[in-house]
Amino acid sequence: MRLVLLGAPGVGKGTQAELIHERLGACQLSTGDVFRAAKSGCGGGELSPALTEALQFMRRGELVPDATVLQIVRERAGCLRCQGGFLLDGFPRTVAQAEALDRICAEHKTGIDAVISYELPIEKIVSRLSGRRTCEKCKAVYHVESRPSKTPGVCDHCGGNLVQREDDRPEAVRVRMEAYERSTAPLADYYSRRGLLVRVSAEGTPEDIFERTCEALVPKKG
C-alpha cells in the first residue's frame, strides 16, 4: 500500500513506520531520518544541493522551506515507484506540501491509498516525552517509566550519562504540540475531505498500535 503517516511528537509514529516497513514490505521514506543522517555525516557520499541547503536552515534553527523539502523528496522519488508500496513519515507537514505531493505522485503515475493519523491525548504525549532520557554518548533512548535503564541515569550500552533533552521538558512539549496542531489540523482536514484519512489510537504497546493499524487499513485495500 501507499501510505502517509501523521502523528504528533511522542505518539510512536516512527516505530510504526519501522514495523510497517519490516512486516508489510513498504519502502520507507522519512525526511527526519534523511536530515539526521546528513547532519551526522552518516549518509555517506556527497550531499545534494537541496540537502546542503536544508542543513544550513537547520543549523540556524529555521524551518526548512517547502521548496527545499520537495526537492529532497523528488531526489528520492524512486521510493514512490516501489512495487511493495511506500510510506511517507514526516512529509507532508502542510497542505501546500500535500498538494505538491499529489503533483509528484501524478508525475510518477501513482497515488496515496490512505493517510494514517496516530492520535493520543496531549497529557499522555507530555508524559511520554518528558519521561524520555537520551544517552549523551551513543544517543540510545530510554524512558523513566516504560523503559528504564538498569542503573538510573546510566546507559546500558555504553555507560554514558542519560539526560533529558531540552525539547522533552513538559513546557517545551506543550509548545511543540501547539505548533503541530496549528500546522497539521488543516492537513488532516485536507485528506479527510478526500476520504483518505484513517484515525488510529496510539494507546498501548507498539504491537497493539500496529494491530489496530492493520485493521484500519483493511477497507482501504483494493
The CATH number linked to 82 is: 3.40.50.300
Q: Tell me what pLDDT residue 179 has.
A: 81
Active site residue 174: no
Tell me if residue 133 is catalytic: no
Select which of 2, 128, 132, 133 is catalytic.
Answer: 132
Around 9, how many Cα atoms within 13 Å sit in the side-chain half-sphere?
A: 19
0.75 exceeded by pTM: yes
**50-54 own/partner pairs: CB under 8 Å, 24+ apart:** 50/75, 51/75
Q: Which of 35, 18, 36 is nearest to 27 (CA)?
A: 18
Q: Give me the pLDDT at residue 45, please.
A: 61
User: Which secondary-structure segment (H or E) carries 79?
Assistant: none
Q: Which residues in the chain come in under a pLDDT of 70?
A: 40-45, 61, 222
What would the pLDDT profile of 69-120 be if each residue is shown by its tens digit? 888 888 887 888 787 789 998 889 889 999 999 999 998 889 999 999 999 9
Range of the domain at 117: 2-220
Number of domains in the chain: 1
132 catalytic residue (yes or no): yes
| Catalytic pick among 74, 169, 174, 176 | 176
Q: What confidence score (pLDDT) does residue 12 get?
A: 87
Catalytic pick from 93, 128, 133, 212?
A: 93
* Choice among 13, 128, 133, 212 that is catalytic: 13
